[in-house]
Amino acid sequence: MNKDKADIIFLQETYSTPDIENTWKSQWKGDLYFAHGSEHSRGVLILIKGRLNFELKSCTHDNEDCFTILKANVQEQSFILVNIYAPNKTSEQSIFFQEIQNVLDSLNIEAECDIIIGGDFNVILNPELNGLGGKPKLKDSVKIIDQIRSSFDLIDIWRVRNPDVKRFSWRQKTPVIQRRLDFWLISSSIQDDIERVDIISAIKSDHSAIILSTNVIEEQRHGRSFWKFNASLIDDEKFISLIRDRYDIRSSG
Averaged pLDDT for residues 210-214: 95
- pLDDT at 194 > cutoff 70: yes
Q: The pTM is what?
A: 0.83
Query: How many angstroms from the chain centroid is the CA of residue 48?
Result: 12
User: Number of C-alpha atoms within 13 angstroms, CB side, residue 190?
Assistant: 27
All structural domains of the chain with their residue ranges: 8-246
Amino acid (one-letter) located at 80: I
Q: Is 185 exposed, middle or buried (0-12, 13-18, 19+ CB in 10 A)?
A: buried
pLDDT band at 201 (very low <50, low <70, confident <90, very high): confident
Q: Is 129 exposed, middle or buried (0-12, 13-18, 19+ CB in 10 A)?
A: middle
Task: Determine the pLDDT at residue 123.
Answer: 97
Q: Kindly give, in sequence order, each residue whose CB lies less than 8 Å from that of residue 114, ignoring residues fewer than 6 positions away.
A: 77, 78, 79, 80, 186, 187, 189, 190, 216
From the CB of residue 181, how many other CB atoms can be counted at a distance below 10 Å? Answer: 20
Q: Report the DSSP pairing between strands 182-187 and 177-179.
A: unpaired
Q: What is the CA radius of gyration of the chain?
A: 23
Q: Facing residues of 115 across strands?
A: 80
pLDDT band at 249 (very low <50, low <70, confident <90, very high): low
Question: Domain 8-246: which CATH class?
Answer: alpha beta
The answer to whether the beta carbons of residues 154 and 187 sit under 8 Å apart is: yes
pLDDT tens string 29-75: 999 999 998 888 899 999 999 989 999 999 999 988 899 999 999 99
DSSP run (H or E) holding 226: none
By C-alpha distance, which of 235, 200, 167, 223 is closest to 53?
223
